Amino acid sequence: MNLRELAGQIESGKFKQSLERHLSLETRTLLDAMTAKETEDRLSQIVREPIQLSGENSRELLQLYYTASWLHLFETLNISPQAKLFEIASGDTDFIPQALDAYAGAEGRYVTANLNKELTQQFKRKTAVLNVDVQIIEDDGARILDYVEGGTFDAVAFHHAINDIVQTIIADAEGIDTVNNNWWDIEPQMLKAVMEYHHSGRLKDAVCETFIGIVDTCRGLLKQAGYMIFDNCSYDGYEQIGYSTAFHSNYINLARAWIKEANLGLEEVEPEGYDGKWWMILRKV
């Protein structure tokens, strides 16, 4: 989302009764004290390549950037006010249910599939305060159609999920347990394995077919003209463990090429203010 537009919406008070409720009093007080220009400047210090989280209140400001960006997308795409949304690989990040809660409230339904047990428990705690109906399926997202009816969802969210899917596929191939281990403890091992596959030219052969299978399953969830929404960002600090920011920053373009090659019946739309390097919005046709 365009940072200037977002800063103006923050200054207008648009999010005070919704998204800002999930921020600390310190961050809410900071936002109240800043002009739109000051807010835009502060956000621009965080939302860059790679994401910079060293500054005070930066994590919550990044949270507001993403929740507001997704809320704005729901509005721009005219998603149903009784929206039914599936998110794959949510982990413990509650940005999408927050945005859906602000958009649809108790009329909305949010479904996710999570395999990692520890992240699932953290996610349950975070979303317990929301009005939107939240359902967590503790299984592989590739099997989501075993649990819900196809052709009934308004949107599918891949929030910072392409990398998680790729990491999980490679981890399975390498015998790394992503279900019972602490995700953050094994993340360096997974990222190093992804880099090894990338540098050796084996990544597409190892990942593409399974990844496209997941995307096609998610396409099956969507109503006609429903949307599949991807975002991505690169965080600072990973270069020191041998993980490439440039590689990670290319995930949307990589996924775009694989999906186009697979010819799944999805067409890309390009809302104003959503950079195609970091966002991809596909409509089921």
* pLDDT, tens digit, 9 for 90 and up, residues 60-84: 999 999 999 999 999 999 999 999 9
User: Could you write out the DSSP letters of every residue in 110-178?
Assistant: EEEE---HHHHHHHHHHHTT-SSEEEEE-S-GGGGGGTS-TT-EEEEEEET-HHHHHHHHHHHHHT--T
DSSP state of 201: T
What are the residue ranges in the chain where pLDDT is below 70? none
pLDDT of res. 106: 97
Is residue 123 within 8 A of residue 110, CB to CB? The reply is no
77-284, CATH topology level: Rossmann fold (3.40.50)
Enumerate the domain spans of the chain. Answer: 1-69, 77-284
Which residue has 């705690």 as its token pair? 125
Q: What is the pTM of this model?
A: 0.96
For the chain, percent of residues with pLDDT exceeding 70: 100
C-alpha 5/C-alpha 82 separation (Å) is: 26
Specify the pLDDT at position 141.
83
Instruction: Write out pLDDT tens, residues 229-263.
Output: 999 999 999 999 999 999 999 999 999 999 999 99
